[in-house]
Structure 1
Amino acid sequence: MDFLESLKLSLSNLLSYKVRSFLTMLGIIIGIGAVIMMSSLGAGMKQNITGDLNKLGVGNFNISIDTSPGQTYKTEDLMTEKDIENIKKIEEVEAVSPTSSAFARIEIDGNTKMFMGTGVTEDYFKISNFTIVKGRKFLPSEYKKDGRFIIIDSSTAEQLYPDENPIGKKVTLNFKKNRYELVIVGVYKDPYSSLNFGGGGGAPSSGLIPNQFLVFINGGEQNKFEELQVKATSANSLNIAMAEVKDLMSRRGSSFDKYNVRSESSGLDQFNNILNMVTLFISGVAGISLFVGGIGVMNIMLVSVTERIREVGLRKALGARTKDILVQFLIEAVILTFFGGIIGVAIGYSLALLIGIFIKTSPILSPGVVLVCIFVSTIIGLVFGVYPAKKAAALEPMEALRTD
């Protein structure tokens, strides 16, 4: 009996017991569906969260004074404009900008909300690629100690001035005990809007302010910096630039290891690792379901062997070889798990799409994951179908025909 004939006979036998066949596949369907759902949602969330953050300059690096517990620094350890000039001389460095931030309070629709201001220089826009959607960047003359100008995020702009153009209007910020009115010259795309809480939820409003002015209102020392942000000329030269900057800074300050040089992508890598671990854990739990599903397949196939003893005996008496019986029962097991895997992929991705609507995430179905899932489900059929198939193939024709 050739393979095609065995395949037709196997399909005919399985279709004779449709409900039982489906229930046998259920464990495989649940396991594969869970893996597909989690991997699709995980890939979609990763793209959503990292996509906009990448635009903010992931791949650049920071230089900061070590302020870990037990560490102190002196005034001469603060970085200056001279340090910025020296770092810019490094061939692999494209731009350097001091970075500073301060929290304030802003009133929106009668409610007080936290506001995070970031101090910027001209080079800052080369390092962090903010997308200006309205207005403009700061003019060179606005980067001053009295530069009361601001570029706000799009979510804050919509809340402050709905249905109006915010350019040229003023926003009042409460820094500590002082109130400052700043003129809005631009609006940038809110990088956290894809996280579903930007602007109106848990995230604070944000804006860019000339660094000298922010340092002034924050009570800091002008032209003295605790942290610098640096952009390498290319992603390939990032590690070289970091090494050269680290060597340069080790010869400055009150101790050799006074300054930390850290890539901005490290935090994103940690997030990706956590997300991968969660996906792997859920996939491991789903793997248990696959194992249980495999046992279910073996159990039903053993029942099928018991029910079809006379059929096997008759076929052997008519000339069927042991190999033919073995192949037929193996094909039946593989069909169950193969189609169970396909149904699991369809159901898993459908659930991912449904959940994605509620969490505002577009699931990403990887062809590689689909192929692996179907391959694994097929292998489960082969592995767990071997014992029932061998048991059926080992039946003696005369003994089988005597069985009631």
Structure 2
Amino acid sequence: MDWSESIKMSVKTLTGNKLRSSLTMLGMIIGNASVIAMIGIGQGAQRLASEQFESLGPNVLFVTPGSREARRRTNTVVQTLVWEDAKAIAAQVPAVSGVAPQRQSQQPIVYGNVNKPTLVIGTTPAFLPVRDFDVAKGRFINDTDVESSKRIVVIGADVAKGFFAGKDPIGERLRIRNTSFEVVGVLAPKGSFLGNNQDDVVMVPLTTTTSVLSGRTSPYGLDLTFISISARDEASIPAAEFQITNLMRRRHKIVTDDDFTVATQSDILRIVGTITGGLTALLAAIAGVSLLVGGIGIMNIMLVSVTERTQEIGLRKAIGASQRDILVQFMIEAVLLSAAGGVIGTIVGISGIYLVGAVSPLEAAVSPVAVTLAVSVSGTIGLVFGVIPAKQAAKLDPIVALRSA
């Protein structure tokens, strides 16, 4: 059997029916493009999440009120953290380099005729180094501001643009809950974190949130939304997590379930990675159905082709072609269709990934494994689904085939 001749005949047959061949390949093209694009977009989402977590601050940990189990059982979070907890962590945990208590809420911000709900964060001077923020203009909150509960604010970059476009905001006054605050600083742009705009915030001294904005709700001290903590270095993170947990359990006199959660960047990133990885796998599996549909389409078209080409098959058998020759002929045609669809689908899928990367924050990420797998699967599907029509063609009796023609 001459393989080169068989391949030439297969190509000639397929190109002789361009429209039918193109429609047959369509399922493979869509399947390959979908699988490659979904995996690439999923990996881009994971990289984006990783970059955003790095922007939270160096070696940062978070202490939040309520246990993970309690959060799963109910949406209501009991405020179990107070400022004294943050002070104790800063004083008694050697693996920690900085502690930034935070109390935050959505409040209407008014300047002139502009009224906009904005996230108001009450915090201390430690916020800047712990969360890796920078001041672009003016100054940040200092210890005197916190001790005196001063009515001053440091605003995010987007707040500065929205309220003071083309104007220096330093020295201007905003109103929060009908109380006037002086703008003393503007933060450098930070970007978004998991959909939350970190530049659309205003920051006030932590004590001011109690004395002016929201009052005191805990009998044990100034309650907090969460505590941001910076470990001394990356190697100190496990020790810091262990020491913080032990200290908090002693302070809260816990003997059973914790009423707080200590989470590291890697913990949160692992959860996000699990979610995005699961969604990527699900979308890729759904897209993979297109490959199966494409394989069925190839089988159907090849079966029709066998019926249409009975005279050709009978004539080839009459002049000496064996069943194996006919079988190989049809198998080559099926594999060529699926492989061509796989290559075109790969090009479309990669183009789609770069298009999404160009119009969204996601980084374009082409997975060589996904490309290899998609093309290999498409070729295998063509081979598998081409067996039935190839066998049917090979079994045709030459005399019956010539008569039926």
Q: TM-score, normalised by structure 1?
A: 0.81
Offset, 1:105: 1.7
Distance verdict in 2 for CA 1:7–1:134, change over 3 Å: farther
User: Residue 286 in 1 paired to residue 287 in 2?
Assistant: yes
Aligned 1:24-35 pairs, distance under 5 A: 24-35=24-35
Aligned 1:189-338 pairs, distance under 5 A: 189-192=189-192, 195=195, 198=197, 205-217=200-212, 218-220=214-216, 224=222, 226=224, 227-256=226-255, 257-263=257-263, 265=265, 266=267, 269-338=270-339
Offset, 1:295: 0.9
User: Residue 174 in 1 paired to residue 176 in 2?
Assistant: yes
Alignment deviations for residues 4-27 of structure 1 (CA, whole Å, 9 cap, x no partner): 332222111110100000111112
Mapped contact 2:98–2:126 kept (Cα < 8 A): yes
User: Residue 343 in 1 paired to residue 350 in 2?
Assistant: no
User: Residue 380 in 1 paired to residue 381 in 2?
Assistant: yes
Alignment deviations for residues 273-305 of structure 1 (CA, whole Å, 9 cap, x no partner): 444444433333323322222111001111222
- Report sequence identity in percent: 32
Report the Cα distance in structure 1 between the residues aligned to 2:157 and 2:176, rounded to whole angstroms. Answer: 20
Gaps of at least 5 residues in structure 2 are none
Mapped contact 1:43–1:364 kept (Cα < 8 A): yes
User: Residue 370 in 1 paired to residue 352 in 2?
Assistant: no
Gaps of at least 5 residues in structure 1 are none
What secondary structure does 2:148 align onto?
Answer: coil
What secondary structure does 1:164 align onto?
Answer: coil
1:81 to 74, 77, 87: 87
Higher alpha-carbon deviation: 62-71 or 206-215 = 62-71
What secondary structure does 1:22 align onto?
Answer: helix
Report the Cα distance in structure 2 between the residues aligned to 1:72 and 1:12, rounded to whole angstroms. Answer: 73
Alignment deviations for residues 159-206 of structure 1 (CA, whole Å, 9 cap, x no partner): 11212343x23241324xx503122323231432895x859xxxx931
Report the Cα distance in structure 1 between the residues aligned to 2:262 and 2:241, rounded to whole angstroms. Answer: 8
Higher alpha-carbon deviation: 147-156 or 382-391 = 147-156
Report the Cα distance in structure 2 between the residues aligned to 1:150 and 1:72, rounded to whole angstroms. Answer: 28
Mapped contact 1:44–1:361 kept (Cα < 8 A): yes
Report the Cα distance in structure 1 between the residues aligned to 2:269 and 2:292, rounded to whole angstroms. Answer: 34
The residue identity in structure 2 corresponding to 1:127 is V
What secondary structure does 1:144 align onto?
Answer: helix
Q: 4+ residue stretches of structure 1 with deviation over 6 A?
A: 69-77, 355-358
Offset, 1:397: 4.1
Distance verdict in 2 for CA 1:77–1:33, change over 3 Å: closer
Higher alpha-carbon deviation: 101-110 or 70-79 = 70-79
Mapped contact 1:122–1:140 kept (Cα < 8 A): yes
Report the Cα distance in structure 1 between the residues aligned to 2:335 and 2:143, rounded to whole angstroms. Answer: 71
What secondary structure does 1:99 align onto?
Answer: strand
What secondary structure does 1:163 align onto?
Answer: coil
What secondary structure does 1:251 align onto?
Answer: helix
Mapped contact 2:83–2:223 kept (Cα < 8 A): no
Higher alpha-carbon deviation: 35-44 or 326-335 = 35-44
Report the Cα distance in structure 2 between the residues aligned to 1:75 and 1:186, rounded to whole angstroms. Answer: 29
The residue identity in structure 2 corresponding to 1:60 is V
Report the Cα distance in structure 2 between the residues aligned to 1:55 and 1:12, rounded to whole angstroms. Answer: 58
Offset, 1:46: 4.7
Mapped contact 1:79–1:224 kept (Cα < 8 A): no
Distance verdict in 2 for CA 1:304–1:236, change over 3 Å: farther
RMSD: 3.6
User: Residue 96 in 1 paired to residue 99 in 2?
Assistant: yes
What secondary structure does 1:231 align onto?
Answer: strand
Distance verdict in 2 for CA 1:160–1:223, change over 3 Å: same
Report the Cα distance in structure 2 between the residues aligned to 1:103 and 1:288, rounded to whole angstroms. Answer: 45
Offset, 1:28: 1.6
Report the Cα distance in structure 2 between the residues aligned to 1:282 and 1:85, rounded to whole angstroms. Answer: 48
Offset, 1:86: 0.6
2:157 to 137, 154, 164: 154
The residue identity in structure 1 corresponding to 2:201 is S
Mapped contact 2:155–2:187 kept (Cα < 8 A): yes
Offset, 1:210: 3.0
Report the Cα distance in structure 2 between the residues aligned to 1:301 and 1:75, rounded to whole angstroms. Answer: 69
Q: TM-score, normalised by structure 2?
A: 0.81
Mapped contact 1:132–1:189 kept (Cα < 8 A): no
What secondary structure does 2:165 align onto?
Answer: coil
What secondary structure does 1:395 align onto?
Answer: coil
User: Residue 145 in 1 paired to residue 144 in 2?
Assistant: no
Distance verdict in 2 for CA 1:212–1:357, change over 3 Å: same
Aligned length: 393
| Correspondence for 1:123 | 126
What secondary structure does 1:116 align onto?
Answer: strand
The residue identity in structure 2 corresponding to 1:210 is P
Higher alpha-carbon deviation: 17-26 or 70-79 = 70-79
Offset, 1:384: 0.6
